Amino acid sequence: MATQLKDTRHTQSLPQGSVTWPLPPRMRPDLPDHDKATLESYLAAAPLEDVDIADPLWWETDTNHVYFKRLRAEAPVFFTSVNSNRHRGFWNVTRWNDVMAVDTNHQVFSSEAMLGGITLFDMDPDFIMPMFIAMDPPKHDVQRKAVNPIVSGQNLASYEELIRSRTAEVLDGLPRGEAFDWVDRVSIELTSRMLATLFGWPQERRRMLTYWSDVSTADPELPGNPGKEERQGILLGMLQEFTMLWNERVNAEPTGDLVSMLAHNPATRNMPPMEFMGNLVLLIVGGNDTTRNSISGGLYFLNQNPAEYAKLKANHGLVENMVSEIIRYQTPLAHMRRTALQDTVLGGQLIHKGDKVVMWYSSANRDDTVLDNPDAFIIDRPRARQHMAFGFGIHRCVGNRLAELQLKILWEEILKRFDHIEVLDEPERVPSAFVRGYKKMMVRIPA
């Protein structure tokens, strides 16, 4: 491997704090129009180093896969320096085995919030929200264990009936023979109800949880999204509301919801306010943005692949396997990011201490050196559980079993009711290199 080592003096992340707000303008290819085909041909031919794959453009248009396919083949561990004055520069890790190597090596690849955290763009340095996903051991371990029981197998069994009756209620309330937005009526509706239950939050205000989730992950630069200061204010408002719940529950008997669990566990009961806020954001986003987008994605994929939809209708027993395939194919969180704590070599590249390392789960899940025919959506794929979407290692998604349960019940209940659900238009996608999701997807259930 040594012969492949390159001197990467010019491909190192810029120091922390070198990027200041407002961010300088983004360099973007000068293309006559931004339609999908034009963007895909650009990504297929552009010099690799000219592309900033963190640009929301490539995600809103769902064109990024063209670039990742090239990276996996030509430069599987590759440094992005274009627009470094906005994101400090970062390593792209695109192959399954390299992502696995980073994800399972928390000794070298840190998740620490103070180093920037777990997303490609650093946490706002004057608004650091510590949360257990953005901590290293040992603190990570004890905080994760504080909430782990709520999503363990045995506890989930107690939720099953509730999830099923709610799913039935939401599906029974859908219109027939007219167009409606699946994201709003089903995906958001079901995930927000579940989240409210997990937090012991009032059901009638469940959409606030969706709102806070969206605000936490929204790009403050994009028109229509809250700006940086406004975002901070909104999240502080969330903290205030949850602090009231905390105060009610800290002196009461444990009630089994997340707020009560955090308030009673020795590892979390003395958290400073920003850390409480951070963990709330983590649990809200973790329980919301992810399952929501797999709910939308599943229906979209079945419409794109009529033979698979037919297979499912003919054999409802495929639901459980399909759920894993939906999650792989969607990969609702496209990446997790780490910070190198020391110089290290990955895929023949020399990574320096302090470098940002981005594990592209969405790319690893399409790695054809590990998965057969990964670009195809195959609901009876053998070993469908072996996908990368939940991450691996100590930060692996804690709510994965809940997500699978919600999706399984949804599809069982859909198949009981509807012969077909038709996706009417291309969905509108979230402009984010982190949340790989849908804003709107119009559908119709035949009358």
Question: How many beta carbons lie within 10 A of that of residue 316, not counting itself?
Answer: 12
> Structure tokens of 158?
């107690």
Strands (E), 295-366: 335-340, 344-346, 349-351, 356-360
Residue 257 makes contact with other proteins by CB under 8 A: no
Residue 125 makes contact with other proteins by CB under 8 A: no
The correct pick among 19, 57, 82, 151 for binding other proteins (CB under 8 A) is: 151
Torsion of CA 36, 37, 43, 44, to 10 degrees: 150
Residue 320 makes contact with other proteins by CB under 8 A: no
Question: Considering beta carbons, is residue 189 or 404 the nearer one to other proteins?
Answer: 404
Residues 6+ apart with CB under 8 A from 130: 113, 274, 275, 278
Distance CA 279, CA 247 (A): 16
The correct pick among 34, 65, 139, 145 for binding other proteins (CB under 8 A) is: 145
Distance CA 331, CA 326 (A): 8
Residue 34 makes contact with other proteins by CB under 8 A: no
Residue 393 makes contact with other proteins by CB under 8 A: yes
Residue 153 CB, nearest distance to other proteins (Å)? 2
Distance CA 65, CA 223 (A): 25
The correct pick among 48, 168, 341, 394 for binding other proteins (CB under 8 A) is: 394
Residue 254 makes contact with other proteins by CB under 8 A: no
The size of the interface with other proteins (CB under 8 A), counted in residues, is 26
> At residue 246, what is the residue type?
W
Kindly tell me the burial class for residue 224, based on how many C-beta atoms sit within 10 Å of its own C-beta (0-12, 13-18, 19 or more).
exposed
The correct pick among 22, 25, 153, 223 for binding other proteins (CB under 8 A) is: 153
The correct pick among 149, 233, 237, 317 for binding other proteins (CB under 8 A) is: 149
Residue 341 CB, nearest distance to other proteins (Å)? 16
The correct pick among 148, 240, 315, 369 for binding other proteins (CB under 8 A) is: 148
Residue 281 CB, nearest distance to other proteins (Å)? 21
Residue 381 CB, nearest distance to other proteins (Å)? 14
Stretch that binds other proteins, among 109-117, 173-181, 270-278, 379-387 (CB under 8 A): 379-387
Stretch that binds other proteins, among 9-17, 75-83, 85-93, 380-388 (CB under 8 A): 380-388
String marking each residue 90-109 x if it binds other proteins according to CB under 8 A: ----------x--xx-x---
Per-state percent for the chain, helix, strand, coil, to nearest 5 = 50, 10, 40
Q: Find out whether 339 and 357 touch, Cβ atoms under 8 Å.
A: yes
Question: Considering beta carbons, is residue 77 or 327 the nearer one to other proteins?
Answer: 327
Question: Considering beta carbons, is residue 155 or 225 the nearer one to other proteins?
Answer: 155
Question: Considering beta carbons, is residue 46 or 394 the nearer one to other proteins?
Answer: 394
Q: Which of 129, 126, 123, 114 is nearest to 229 (CA)?
A: 126
Residue 32 CB, nearest distance to other proteins (Å)? 45
Question: How many beta carbons lie within 10 A of that of residue 227, not counting itself?
Answer: 13
Helix axes 273-304, 189-199, angle to 10 degrees: 150
Q: Find out whether 41 and 13 touch, Cβ atoms under 8 Å.
A: no
List alpha helices for 219-318, DSSP H: 228-250, 258-264, 273-304, 306-314
Residue 141 CB, nearest distance to other proteins (Å)? 6
Residue 390 makes contact with other proteins by CB under 8 A: yes
Residue 382 CB, nearest distance to other proteins (Å)? 10
Residue 141 makes contact with other proteins by CB under 8 A: yes
Stretch that binds other proteins, among 3-11, 30-38, 335-343, 391-399 (CB under 8 A): 391-399
Helix axes 400-417, 189-199, angle to 10 degrees: 140
The helix/strand/coil state of 77 is strand
Question: Considering beta carbons, is residue 140 or 356 the nearer one to other proteins?
Answer: 140
Q: Find out whether 432 and 215 touch, Cβ atoms under 8 Å.
A: no
Footprint of other proteins (CB under 8 A) = 100, 103-104, 106, 137, 141, 144-145, 148-149, 151-154, 156, 383, 385-387, 390, 392-394, 396, 400-401
